[in-house]
């Protein structure tokens, strides 16, 4: 698994070719792409882009500074390091990789809408053309992303949190390509963990060791005390093929 991703990444060492690679690494990465009912016509289904990219259940785990949250964050960092060691990195490399992933995910969490705001259905309603959506985050090369993902052609979609994509555009440029390779390596480990060797399975929290929801951000629980995902919308990923109904 790691060799496959490394081979792909080495052939796509430029930043311009790293963005489309996001569509081929796991079920989710920097953002979430799925399909959802059209908020203006329940008989229609539209392609849907939403905030994403974090592995813990809620943005607050990355942002809050109370002792309980900091304990959870440290447990997650330890879990990241252990996962990278199991994937073949040295202790020192794994520590660096774990911190890189946490840094990237923290920035994505800061760009994300909080759970209270997301309870209002109106804040999710931003239907626009594909070109307008791509213009929100030109560095992410969304048109290429959709092509690489192999989804049916469409011309319009709903972007649930446009501000997230504007900020993600800058976050993508903030980190070097090697950092994104590390982040994508983690996405692959996260996605495949339930089917890897027993040490990977045992590294997961007891309540998730038998989970088959690979790739679901809610499946990563560094401790058994994390709250349930605060916003179920971000954990739903219907078949992208339904997006063709949007056109």
Over residues 8-39, the pLDDT tens digits come to 445 445 666 666 666 555 456 799 999 999 98
Query: What's the chain's length in residues?
Result: 247
Reported as a single tens digit per residue, the pLDDT across 167-195 is: 999 999 999 999 999 999 998 888 888 88
Stretch among 31-35, 105-109, 203-207, 214-218 having the lowest mean pLDDT: 214-218
Question: 217 or 99, which is more confident?
Answer: 99
pTM across the whole model? 0.78
pLDDT tens digits for range 211-226: 444 333 434 444 333 3
**Domain residue spans in the chain?**
2-246
Exposure b/e, 168-185, CB count within 10 A at least 16 = b? bbebbeebeeebbbbbbb
205 pLDDT exceeds 90?
Answer: no
**Cα–Cα distance for residue pair 226/69, rounded to 1 Å:** 9
Angle, helices 91-111 vs 162-174, to 10°: value is: 150
The reported pLDDT for the residue numbered 220 is 41
Strands 41-51 and 156-159: parallel
Determine the pLDDT at residue 5: 47
The CATH fold of domain 2-246 = Neutral endopeptidase; domain 2 (1.10.1380)
Q: What is the mean pLDDT of residues 126-141?
A: 96
């Amino acid at each position: 698994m790691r060799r496959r991703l490394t081979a792909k990444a080495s052939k796509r060492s430029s930043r311009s070719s790293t963005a489309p690679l996001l569509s081929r690494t796991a079920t989710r990465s920097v953002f979430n792409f799925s399909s959802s009912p059209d908020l203006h016509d329940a008989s229609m289904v539209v392609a849907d882009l939403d905030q994403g990219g974090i592995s813990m259940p809620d943005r607050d785990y990355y942002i809050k500074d109370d002792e309980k949250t900091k304990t959870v964050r440290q447990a997650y960092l330890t879990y990241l390091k252990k996962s990278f060691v199991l994937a073949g990195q040295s202790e020192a490399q794994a520590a660096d990789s774990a911190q890189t992933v946490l840094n990237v995910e923290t920035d994505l969490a800061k760009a994300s809408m909080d759970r209270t705001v997301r309870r209002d259905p109106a804040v999710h309603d931003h239907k626009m053309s594909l070109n307008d959506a791509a213009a929100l985050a030109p560095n992410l090369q969304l048109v290429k992303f959709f092509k690489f993902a192999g989804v049916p052609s469409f011309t319009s979609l709903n972007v649930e949190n446009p501000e997230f994509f504007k900020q993600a555009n800058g976050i993508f440029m903030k980190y070097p390509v090697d950092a994104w390779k590390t982040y994508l390596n983690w996405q692959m480990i996260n996605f495949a963990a339930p089917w890897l060797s027993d040490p990977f399975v045992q590294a997961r929290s007891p309540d998730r060791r038998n989970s088959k929801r690979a790739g679901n951000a809610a499946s990563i629980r560094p401790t058994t005390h994390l709250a349930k995902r605060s916003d179920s919308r971000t954990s739903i990923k219907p078949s992208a093929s339904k997006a063709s109904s949007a056109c």
